Amino acid sequence: MIAEIGLAALWLAAALAALQLVGGLVAQRAGADAEIARLTRPAAILQGGLVAVSFASLLWVFAITDLSVKLVAANSHTAKPMIFKLSGAWGNHEGSMLLWVTVMALAGALIAAVERRLPEKTMQATLAAQSFVALGFYGFLLLASNPFERLAQPAAEGLGLNPLLQDIGLAFHPPTLYIGYVGLSVAFSFALGALLTKQVTPDFARAMRPWILGAWVFLTLGITAGSYWAYYELGWGGYWFWDPVENASLMPWLAATALLHSASVLASRDALRVWTIMLGVVAFSMSMLGTFLVRSGVLTSVHAFAVDPERGSFILFLLAIYIGGALLLFALRAGSISEGERFSVASREGALVVNNVMLSAILAVVLLGTLYPLLTEAFDVRVSVGPPYFNPVSAIFVFPMLAIMAVGPLLRWRRDSWGRISKEVALLVALLLAALVLFGLLAEVAILPLLGLAFAITLGVASFLPLRGRSLRRAPLSLWGMVLAHFGLAVALLGMASESAFSTEKLAALGEGDVTSVGPWEVTLEAVEPVAGPNWTALSGRMQVSYSGGEPVEINPQSRNFWAPAQQTAESVLLTRWNGQLYAVIGTQAPDGRWQVRLWWKPLVTLIWYGGMLIALGGILALIGRVRSDLRRRSAKRKGAARRLEMETVK
Amino acid sequence: MRLLAGLLMALAALPLAAQQTLPPAPYAYRQLEDPAQEAQAQELMETLRCLTCQSQSIADSDAPMAGDMRHQVRIRIAAGEEPEEIRSWLMERYGDYVSYEPVMSASTWPLFAIPLLLVLIAAAIFWRRFRKRA
Amino acid sequence: MSWRLWLPLLLFSGFLGLAAYQLTQEKDQTIESRMVGNELPYFELPSAFEGEPAVNSAYFQQGGPKLLNIWASWCLPCIAEAPQLEALKEGGAEIVGVAIRDRPEDIERFLAQHGNPYSRIGRDDLSEVQLAIGSSGVPETFVVDGEGRIRYQHIGDVRASDVPLLLEELRKAGE
């Protein structure tokens, strides 16, 4: 019964999305007050409610493990812990699509309910675009992959008890990225709405901004968590491989970062109109492209879990319609939208333009490097593009961007002079040079990590300079958000540069009782003992490790053998100190009885992920700040309108 | 006791899973004595692709073949070969695929030309936008 | 100005075409050896069986063309391949085995179970020969002519349909 309710709600929601599309399009011809056009907003709100019902039904059938539902039987099991039963609802193709439309429809309902800044016609066009994107997913869900399909004969037990997949990270990582992607789809809809009505105004940017910020926060968290997962799971101490799947999550982030900054120029200064629209389209394209690359398996990746060429062609089809359509509209319409206000190079906008160009160039490099093997394979040539390409080539654009990131926020809008901030600039340049000389002389560091260290320190200081001369308590929340996000990037950069410059590695063959050292650590392998878990057996190393002769600590890296499915994994141990991490892995036994042990000391490596979290926190603060000031402005407007009305009636 | 039974089961299961029983090559998991040589080897290994894995370098793969490739790299470096000689030795056998560091060639030139083009485009944008003070 | 607005669409169409084309293609995971056409590099491997002669590159320079089969007792497709190698042997091919990272006792057990089509078997414990001839997986089969030149590479297990093909390549190599 519950499953049927879910399916019915999904059909109704799809019908409402169609109504919403028609309403929004009719509005473009017949005006915002046409009968059917006025249904657009209510349709969006109702659609959100219905999809929520549908998704709740799916959660419910998973929660009670209703084995007459095919999806539950295939992906769940009565003996699973509740949290994994629930996460199983979106841990499969159909469920993840339903999650996608759910988040999307709820977002649509929210903008339909509260967003009143834009001209009604633009709003209707935006909602039409939103329903256009959603309809593709509804169509596929309802016609080709119904999540509520029943089995003729209920299954005796579910098939989804693979303990390897019962991982809290795996359960929540995909939805985090999805929410980011969907947030970008809202920005995309706003961009299309503005393009349809040619109303590219500061209000448009303000309406779009919270969605970009929200999406950006989720993408940041998703990338940070994914990188940490690779770091501890793969067992070789690497945290970023420039792998296609990693790049697929990085590209929307880069585009969203650029969009965030260009939208802020549009909101404050009514400039960069066409460019902001373009980025709105590009950011969502990158999410779809990323999904395509991950799901279709056209590129080889370490992280490819659910590869299916058929789904690949479906996503490619949607990609063609959405992005092809949007770019066509862009080519036809954008010519008649003026770029907006001009400005000088020494201004906040000027710096933001530099930032945008650099971010776009980095995005282009990542895109090129990721897709290039796909291109050559069409000519039967196989090439590999990896870290030795991405690191230096993207650095060409990263370091200029970091430089402008340090000074840009000190500049005023519209017109400023370098003379006004000369003292700050001199301080930062001195700091940069001092750091370069210091690290260059003290340690033998390669050029990129050296630049990274120096820029990280400079940017770390620079990011707080916009607060100078301000009352810290009165500084707006959005300013704090920017400061924190920029500082977070500096922190992450320091972690990366330090990891790359100062890590030490030790591969050793140790017998029981042998001692070795890595960096400041002394490591003793006391014994290797067998242990057993629910579905694995392991050889567990008992090691005593001590930091510069301090009190020893026991760690137990394991080499695990799972039996269903048969798989050998290394359970590494990460021992965190304030100034870095000790990373220990135990491998196989050599014929002479000694054990392969891999050890790394990675100074400041944890800063990479703390930095990522700070960036996300900055985004959250900015989001709260923006929404709060929007609400304040709105209530002020309403009060003003009420007073005016009062005055008029008094007259 | 149950633990022991489990262990025995796991050990018994090993031959069925077609495990490779030969121990890894001597220098697969062992560093060179000379730190400078080891650093050279490490740098090279990070840029060579493991041929049997999914997009990993031989420096961070547990695949046996990657181990054998690490062994080759280390003993060749120890014998005094230059890293680039080893890279080209492998590329003579496996083509561009084995190296993560694309070398300019007929099939890879766009990887270098396009970033250059991007630099030019960026310069052109700044020039157009900021040439005359608005 | 306006032609530039079409650029994004143009680039995107290019990507779409490429992606659509690649989706329809069978994903080619093989890495072909560049050594086909070149002389077999010098090598010297101990035999898998005590007392038997070594397997070396010089051996390929004498007599007619031979097959060089990269295999291992731990490799599952090699079991599937075994009857086809038998068929090749019956077709007159001489097959030299190179066992990758394998122990003599495992090799012996494998041959006892699945038959022994090899004239000689060398032990390549460090994948040295495999790397030297540009082989990237197990099993692979190379056709080497009488002068010790690699003429053809077959990637993956030999299926029944590949047998005439390999015999034909051998015949060509002998001309």
Interface pTM (ipTM) of the complex? 0.85
Three-class SS string for A422-475?
Answer: HHHHHHHHHHHHHHHHHHHHHCCCCHHHHHHHHHHHHHHHHCCHHHCCCCCCCC
Quote the tokens at residue B87.
Answer: 């890279």
DSSP structure string for A536-565: EEEEEEEEEEEETT---EEE--EEEEEETT
C129, C142 contact by CB (below 8 A): no
| Inside any domain, residue B9 | no
Helix/strand/coil (H, E, C) string of A50-89?
HHHHHHHHHHHHHHCCCCCEHHHHHHCCCCCCHHHHHHHC
- Per-residue pLDDT for B16 more than 50? no
Using a CB-CB distance cutoff of 8 angstroms, which residues of chain A are in contact with residue C23?
Answer: 296, 298, 309, 312-313, 316
SS3 per residue for chain B: CHHHHHHHHHHHHCHHHCCCCCCCCCCCCCCCCCHHHHHHHHHHHCCEECCCCCCCEHHHCCCHHHHHHHHHHHHHHHCCCCHHHHHHHHHHHHHHHHECCCCCCCCCHHHHHHHHHHHHHHHHHHHHHHCCCC
Of C2, C9, C19, the CB nearest to A327: C9
Higher per-residue confidence, A44 vs B63 = A44
Q: Nearest 10 degrees: CA dihedral of A216, A220, A222, A226?
A: 150
**CA-based nearest distance B129→chain C, Å:** 14
- What does the alpha-carbon distance between residue A236 and residue A507 come to, in Å, rounded to a whole number? 11
Query: B117 and B95 in one domain?
Result: no
Give the residue numbers spanning the domain of B44: 24-103
**B78 and B38 in one domain?**
yes
Q: For residue B6, which residues of chain A lie inside 8 Å, CB to CB? A: 532, 537
Residues B30 and B78 in one domain: yes
Q: Return the amino acid letter for A327.
A: L
pLDDT digits (tens, 9 = 90+) for A210-222: 999 999 999 999 9
Judge whether residue B119 has pLDDT over 90.
Answer: yes
Name which of B52, B71, B90 is nearest C137 (Cβ-Cβ).
B52
- pLDDT for the residue B6: 37
Contact status, residue C103 vs residue C175, Cβ threshold 8 Å: no
Mean predicted confidence (pLDDT) in A479-488:
95
**Residue of C126, C136, C140, C142 for testing the chain B interface, max B β-carbons within 10 Å:** C126
Across the interface, of B6, B96, B125, the residue whose CB is closest to A383 is: B96
For residue A594, the chain B residue with the least C-alpha distance is B23
Instruction: Using alpha carbons, list the distances in angstroms from residue A570 to A234, A505, A559, A583, A606.
Output: 8, 17, 5, 12, 21
Chain centroid, CA A396 distance in Å? 23
Q: Can you tell me which residue has the tokens 């359970």?
A: A571
Whether the pLDDT of residue A192 is over 70: the answer is yes
Question: What is the structure's pLDDT at A157?
Answer: 82
Judged by a CB distance cut-off of 8 A, whether residue C22 touches chain A is: yes
Three-class SS state of C25: coil
- Rounded CA-CA distance A278/A582 in Å is 45
Report the pLDDT value the prediction gives residue A565, as an integer from 0 to 100.
Answer: 62
Burial label for A640, CB within 10 Å (0-12, 13-18, 19+), is exposed
pLDDT in tens, A620-651: 999 999 999 888 888 888 888 888 888 877 76
Residues 6+ apart with CB under 8 A from A473: none
Chain-chain contact of C9 with A331 (C-beta, under 8 angstroms): yes
Chain A residues with CB under 8 Å of B111 CB are 368-369, 372, 385, 389
Q: Distance between CA atoms of A473 and A476, rounded to whole angstroms?
A: 8
Residues B41 and B98 both lie in one domain: yes
Tell me, yes or no, if C5 comes closer than 8 A to chain A by beta carbon.
yes
Question: Is 90 exceeded by the pLDDT of residue A165?
Answer: no
Asked if pLDDT for residue A308 goes beyond 70, the answer is: no
Cα angle C12, C14, C15; round to 5: 65
SS3 call for C128: helix
Cβ atoms of A542 and A556 within 8 Å: the answer is: yes
Q: Name the closest residue on chain A to residue C31, using Cα atoms.
A: A382
User: What's the confidence (pLDDT) of residue A175?
Assistant: 86
pLDDT tens-place string over residues C13-70: 999 999 888 888 776 677 888 999 999 999 999 988 888 888 888 898 888 899 999 9
- Does residue B54 belong to the interface with chain C, where contact is any CB pair within 8 Å? no
In C, which residues are within 8 Å of B124 by CB distance? Answer: none
Per the CB < 8 Å rule, is A378 touching C18? yes
- Do B34 and B87 fall into the same domain? yes
Backbone angles phi, psi at A489, to 5 degrees: -65, -40
Tell me: do B85 and B111 sit in the same domain.
no
Select the residue of C23, C29, C31 nearest A313 (Cβ to Cβ).
C23
Q: Which neighbouring-strand residues pair with A532?
A: A537
Nearest-Cα distance to chain A for C22, in Å, is: 7
Q: How many CB pairs under 8 A join B and C?
A: 61
Nearest CA in chain A to C26: A298
Nearest to A374 among C1, C5, C18 (CB): C18
Q: How far, in Å, CA of A68 to CA of A86, rounded?
A: 17
Contacts of B57 in chain A (CB under 8 A): 241, 386-387
The pairing of beta strand A558-563 with beta strand A536-547: antiparallel
Burial group, residue A161, by CB count within 10 angstroms (0-12, 13-18, 19+): middle
Same domain, B115 and B72: no
| Count of the separate structural domains present in chain B | 2
* Partners of residue C104 in chain B, C-beta under 8 Å: none
Q: Is the pLDDT reported for residue A426 higher than 70?
A: yes
pLDDT at residue C145 is higher than 80: yes
For chain A, give every domain's residue range. Answer: 1-166, 417-503+607-651, 504-603
- Closest B-chain CA to C137: B52
Domains of chain C: 29-174 (3.40.30.10)
Kindly state whether B75 is in contact with chain C, defined as any CB-CB distance less than 8 angstroms.
no
Instruction: Say if CB A350 and CB B100 are below 8 A apart.
Output: no
pLDDT of residue A489: 97
Inter-chain contacts counted by CB atoms under 8 A, chains A and B: 141
- Residue A65, C-beta contacts closer than 8 angstroms, at least 6 positions apart: A72, A76, A77, A78, A80, A85, A158
C-alpha A630/C-alpha A624 separation (Å) is 10
The answer to whether A285 and A237 have CB atoms below 8 angstroms apart is no
* Distance to chain C for A325, nearest Cα, Å: 9
d(Cα C147, Cα A392) in Å, to the nearest integer?
46
Residue A417 CA neighbour count, 13 Å, CB half: 2
HEC string of A275-336 equals HHHHHHHHHHHHHHHHHHHHHHCCCCCCCCCCCCHHHHHHHHHHHHHHHHHHHHHHHHHHHH
Residues A28-87 pLDDT 10s: 888 878 888 888 899 999 999 999 999 999 999 999 988 899 898 888 888 888 888 888
Report CB contact under 8 Å: C15, A328.
no
Q: How far apart are CA A38 and CA A35, in angstroms?
A: 6
Q: Cβ–Cβ of A324/C28 closer than 8 Å?
A: no
Per-residue pLDDT tens over the stretch A322-358? 999 999 999 998 888 887 777 778 889 889 999 999 9
Distance of residue A394 Cα from the nearest chain C Cα, in angstroms: 21
Say yes or no for a CB contact (<8 Å) between A312 and C23: yes
User: Is residue B45 domain-shared with residue B95, that is, in the same domain?
Assistant: yes
Distance, in Å, from the CA atom of C119 to the CA atom of C116, rounded to the nearest integer, reads 8
Looking at every residue in chain A, the average pLDDT score rounds to 89
pLDDT higher at A507 or A533: A507
Q: Does the beta-carbon distance from C1 to A335 stay under 8 Å?
A: yes
Q: Which chains pack against B, by 3+ Cβ pairs within 8 A?
A: A, C
Give the model's confidence band at A106: pLDDT under 50 very low, under 70 low, under 90 confident, else very high.
very high
> Which CATH number does the domain housing residue B41 bear?
1.10.8.640
pLDDT of residue B2: 34
Any domain includes B78: yes
Ramachandran angles phi, psi of A438, nearest 5°: -55, -55
CA distances to A370, A372, A377, A378, A386 from C18, in Å: 13, 11, 10, 8, 21
pLDDT band of B14, cuts 50, 70, 90: very low
Q: List chain C residues with CB under 8 Å of A313.
A: 20, 23
Q: Measured between beta carbons, which residues in chain B are less than 8 angstroms from residue C125? A: 22, 25
Task: Report the pLDDT averaged over residues A399-403.
Answer: 95
Alpha-carbon distance values, A626 to A185, A214, A264, B2 (Å)? 20, 11, 11, 60
Cis preceding-peptide flag for C41 (omega within 30 of 0): no
Shared-domain flag, residues B41 and B81: yes
Decide if C18 and A313 are in contact by the 8 Å CB cutoff: no
Query: And the tokens for A40?
Result: 């657009």
Chain A contact set for B9 (CB, 8 A): 563
In a domain, B43, yes or no: yes
State both tokens at A535.
């579905």
> Average pLDDT of A496-508?
92
Question: Does A305 score more than 90 pLDDT?
Answer: no
d(CA A187, CA A208): 6
Q: How far apart are CA C35 and CA A113, in angstroms?
A: 67
What is the least distance, in Å, from the CA of C54 to any CA of chain A? 25
* Nearest chain B CA: its distance from C113 CA (Å): 14
For chain B, how many residues are written? 134
Winning range, highest mean pLDDT, from A51-60, A148-157, A264-273, A417-426: A51-60
H or E element, residue A401: helix A387-407
Taking CA–CA distances from C110, the nearest residue in chain B reads B18
Residue-level pLDDT at A301: 61
Parallel/antiparallel/unpaired status of strands C140-144 and C118-124: unpaired
User: Measured between alpha carbons, how far is A41 from A52 in angstroms, rounded to an integer?
Assistant: 17
Query: What residues of chain C lie within 8 A of the CB of B25, using their CB?
Result: 125-127
Q: Which residues of C fall within a CB distance of 8 Å from B92? A: 34-35, 134
Q: B72 and C76 in contact by Cβ < 8 A? A: no
Task: Give yes or no: residues B86 and B134 share one domain.
Answer: no
Helices A387-407, A477-502: crossing angle, 10 deg rounding = 140
> Environment class of residue A381 by beta-carbon count within 10 Å: exposed (0-12), middle (13-18) or buried (19+)?
middle
Q: Where are the alpha helices (DSSP H) in chain C?
A: 2-5, 7-24, 57-60, 76-90, 104-114, 128-132, 162-174
What is the pLDDT at residue A633? 86
> What's the CA gap between A395 and B130, in Å, rounded?
24
**CA-based nearest residue in chain A for residue B25:** A590
**Looking at the predicted structure, is the pLDDT value of residue A162 above 80?**
no
Residue in chain B closest to A303 (alpha carbons) equals B54
Task: Tell me how close the Cα of C16 comes to any Cα of chain A, in angstroms.
Answer: 7
Nearest CA in chain A to C14: A375
- Quick check: A24 and A131 in contact, CB under 8 A? yes
The CB density around residue A54, as the number of other CB atoms within 10 Å, is: 26
